[in-house]
Amino acid sequence: MKRAIILLIFSILISCNKENEKADGYGNFEATEVTISAEANGKILSFAVEEGTVLEPNTQVGLIDTTQLYLNKQQLIATKNTIFSKSKNVLSQNSVLQEQLKTTLIEQKRIKNMFAENAATQRQVDEINGKVHVLKEQIKSVGTQNAPITNEARSIDAQIEKINDQIQKSNIINPIKGTVLAKYAEPNEVTVFGKPLYKIADISEMTLRVYVSETQLPQLKIAQKVNVKIDSEKKIKSYPGTISWISPSAEFTPKVIQTKEERVNLVYAVKIKVKNDGSLKIGMPAEMWIK
């Protein structure tokens, strides 16, 4: 009888010790949330995004109307063709003058040879030299006329490239793999540049941000393995975690952590990476256990 009483007292003490055990850190799960916004103006023709769905990176999920952009591009192409026709006229004039100059240079050489043999007069030499000079000046003038035409064509090319970029950005491309957390737009709505369309986050690996006291810091280091526990329906559920970051500076305890008296204490934030099996949610409270 005496032995049974001793065993009962011993078991009560063990259970009391277990109940008095406290976690080494308390916090909430978080993930990097990315808000995807429109990069073009217009009507949303298609938008295949639903909350809770998992999207792959570099996947087109929607399209914004590009009709006006296409028409502007066609107008610029027509203007460019008109500019090229002007340039062709100038270049054809240049070709004619170049041929004339070529013939005149041959004539100039012939007359100079004749003058050296006293078979031509100084007047003939002066006349042929004058023709060569005039043709060179005309060629230079034609080249000057073509320069602004060329610059205008380059300006049109830049505008066409700008429209091509806008057309490309009218395709709504999902940038990262993740789960859609919120949807802000629907098909047939008119959107503008910078308007949020949906929010996405990669929750396959969650981050638990906990706060520890200065006396706990010597027990922690980057890449250290710890246990993360959450409350489940029937029992405490445990996950392996890895410390990825330790704050280099202290801060006051967040209001959501601990009691009113403990909120004024200085603590250090610690981030722990935890693989998500589907049970972990953003904002869910959890505990960190070093041992």
Tell whether 108 is covered by a domain: yes
Q: Look at residue 59 in the predicted model and tell me its pLDDT.
A: 96
Integer CA distances (angstroms), 122 to 30, 81, 129, in order: 96, 49, 11
In this structure, the answer to whether residues 132 and 270 fall within a common structural domain is no
In this structure, the answer to whether residues 194 and 212 fall within a common structural domain is no
Q: Look at residue 31 in the predicted model and tell me its pLDDT.
A: 95
Q: For the chain, which ranges sit under pLDDT 70?
A: 1-21, 87-92, 143, 145-146, 253-264
Amino acid letter at 262?
Answer: E
Range of the domain at 194: 36-65+178-201
Tell whether 5 is covered by a domain: no
Domain boundary among 154, 170, 186: 170
SS3 53: coil
In this structure, the answer to whether residues 151 and 84 fall within a common structural domain is yes
Ramachandran quadrant class, 195 (left: phi over 0; alpha: psi -120 to 50; beta: rest): beta
Q: How many domains is the chain partitioned into structurally?
A: 3
In this structure, the answer to whether residues 274 and 141 fall within a common structural domain is no
Q: Look at residue 86 in the predicted model and tell me its pLDDT.
A: 75
Q: What is the value of pTM for the model shown?
A: 0.69
Tell whether 271 is covered by a domain: yes
Q: Look at residue 107 in the predicted model and tell me its pLDDT.
A: 85
In this structure, the answer to whether residues 191 and 234 fall within a common structural domain is no
Q: How far apart are CA 16 and CA 56, in angstroms?
A: 50
In this structure, the answer to whether residues 86 and 157 fall within a common structural domain is yes
In this structure, the answer to whether residues 162 and 84 fall within a common structural domain is yes
In this structure, the answer to whether residues 45 and 92 fall within a common structural domain is no
Integer CA distances (angstroms), 63 to 151, 185, 190, 200, 264, in order: 34, 12, 12, 18, 51
Tell whether 284 is covered by a domain: yes
